[in-house]
């Protein structure tokens, strides 16, 4: 490719890949498509001969440089938009998009993005999906909905590169999207604040926080907007703290 590849700034995150050969095949796919940031969450040995053989010599450096993490949250902390692949219908999520729609959702301005791929046997857990900005379904037309790991990576990277070849979008954001870590911090602060107000009851906690997580994932707030929301929650905390102090002194 003669033009810069958007895939070059996209991280590929594999969660608990169990077959070294699959990891090597993903590295080869990344080398084909111009991606170089490979992140592994609790993987099988990605430097086994089977992995190196599937990668081919040109993609071996990707395996050697791959970063290994203990959990998905740590692997995506520095990213600003994260797309998780899923083969199943997810009725509890309202941030599911099909693969062609990723062209409309991908940030037009420079952004650190990641593609998350789940376990070969069982995909991603609900708690892991909750950490991601969007859930992407790759349409299939046969009886089997799931794809081989390296095939799924290839299809996603191809779509990203095809999108870039057709030209960048025009809806640029002057303030970049907030990193995933900042969104998680915002949700933690929100949970603390609304718990203090009495709004969040223990038996409703999971469902309500899921709805808030979906809301902020769809909103894709910028750094400035996250700071604004946290400022609001900080003022709520201060107000409640003063009220408690005044009632104790009365």
* Helix pair angle (205-219, 180-197), 10° resolution: 140
Does one domain contain both 83 and 48? yes
Does one domain contain both 96 and 215? no
3-state helix, strand, coil in the chain (%, to 5): 50, 15, 35
* Domain end marker among 165, 189, 206: 165
For residues 129 and 136, the answer to whether their CB atoms sit within 8 Å is no
Q: Which structure tokens are listed for 141?
A: 């037309």
Contacts of 137 by beta carbon, 8 Å cutoff, 6+ apart: 85, 86, 87, 96, 97, 98, 99
At 4 the pLDDT is 47
Q: Which structure tokens are listed for 77?
A: 């902390």
Exposure letters 155-181 (e unless 16+ CB within 10 A, then b)? bbbebbbebbeeeeeeeeeeebbbbbe
* Domain end marker among 133, 165, 197: 165
Does one domain contain both 75 and 194? no
At 250 the pLDDT is 62
For residues 134 and 95, the answer to whether their CB atoms sit within 8 Å is yes
Residue 171 located in a structural domain: no
Domain holding 223, by residue range, is: 180-249
Does one domain contain both 110 and 134? yes
Tens digit of each residue's pLDDT, the chain (250 residues)? 444 467 888 999 999 999 999 999 999 999 999 999 999 999 999 999 999 999 989 999 999 999 999 999 999 999 988 999 987 665 555 678 888 778 778 877 778 899 999 999 888 998 999 899 889 988 888 777 778 999 999 999 988 887 666 654 444 445 778 888 889 999 999 998 888 888 888 888 888 888 888 888 888 888 888 888 888 888 888 888 887 777 776 6
Instruction: Quote the CA–CA distance of 33 and 28 in Å, as a whole number.
Output: 9
Instruction: Quote the CA–CA distance of 168 and 155 in Å, as a whole number.
Output: 20
Residue 172 located in a structural domain: no
CATH code of the domain covering residue 143: 3.40.1280.10
Does one domain contain both 148 and 245? no
CATH code of the domain covering residue 213: 1.10.8
Does one domain contain both 94 and 127? yes
Q: What are phi and psi of 127, to 5 degrees?
A: -65, -35
Does one domain contain both 214 and 95? no
For residues 40 and 33, the answer to whether their CB atoms sit within 8 Å is no
Instruction: Quote the CA–CA distance of 193 and 150 in Å, as a whole number.
Output: 43
Does one domain contain both 159 and 188? no
Residue 175 located in a structural domain: no
Of the candidates 13, 6, 42, the one whose C-alpha atom is nearest the C-alpha of residue 131 is 13
Residue 80 located in a structural domain: yes
At 1 the pLDDT is 40
At 122 the pLDDT is 87
Number of domains within the chain: 2
Does one domain contain both 129 and 209? no
Residue 216 located in a structural domain: yes
Using the structure block, give the residue that is written with the tokens 């910028």.
222
Does one domain contain both 149 and 233? no
* Domain end marker among 141, 165, 189: 165
* Residue 228: burial class (beta carbons within 10 Å; 0-12, 13-18, 19+): exposed
Residue 106 located in a structural domain: yes
Does one domain contain both 127 and 191? no
At 164 the pLDDT is 66
Does one domain contain both 130 and 216? no
């Amino acid at each position: 490719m003669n033009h810069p590849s958007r895939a070059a700034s996209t991280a590929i995150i594999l969660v608990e890949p169990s077959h070294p050969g699959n990891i090597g095949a993903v590295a080869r796919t990344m080398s084909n498509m111009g991606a170089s940031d490979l992140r592994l969450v609790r993987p099988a040995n990605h430097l086994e001969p089977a992995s190196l053989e599937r990668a081919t010599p040109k993609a071996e450096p990707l395996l050697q440089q791959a970063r290994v993490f203990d959990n998905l949250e740590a692997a995506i902390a520095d990213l600003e938009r994260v797309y998780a692949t899923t083969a199943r219908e997810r009725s509890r999520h309202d941030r599911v998009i099909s693969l062609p729609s990723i062209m409309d959702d991908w940030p037009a301005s420079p952004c650190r993005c990641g593609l998350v791929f789940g376990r070969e046997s069982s995909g991603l857990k609900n708690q892991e999906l909750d950490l991601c900005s969007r859930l992407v379904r790759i349409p299939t037309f046969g009886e089997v909905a799931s794809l081989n790991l390296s095939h799924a990576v290839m299809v996603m990277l191809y779509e990203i590169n095809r999108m870039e070849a057709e030209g960048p979008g025009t809806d640029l954001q002057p303030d970049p999207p907030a990193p995933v870590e900042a969104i998680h911090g915002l949700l933690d602060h929100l949970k603390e604040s609304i718990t203090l107000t009495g709004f969040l009851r223990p038996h409703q906690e999971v469902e309500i926080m899921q709805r808030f997580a979906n809301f902020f994932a769809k909103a894709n707030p910028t750094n400035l907007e996250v700071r604004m929301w946290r400022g609001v929650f900080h003022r709520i905390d201060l107000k409640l703290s003063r009220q408690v102090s005044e009632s104790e002194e009365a």
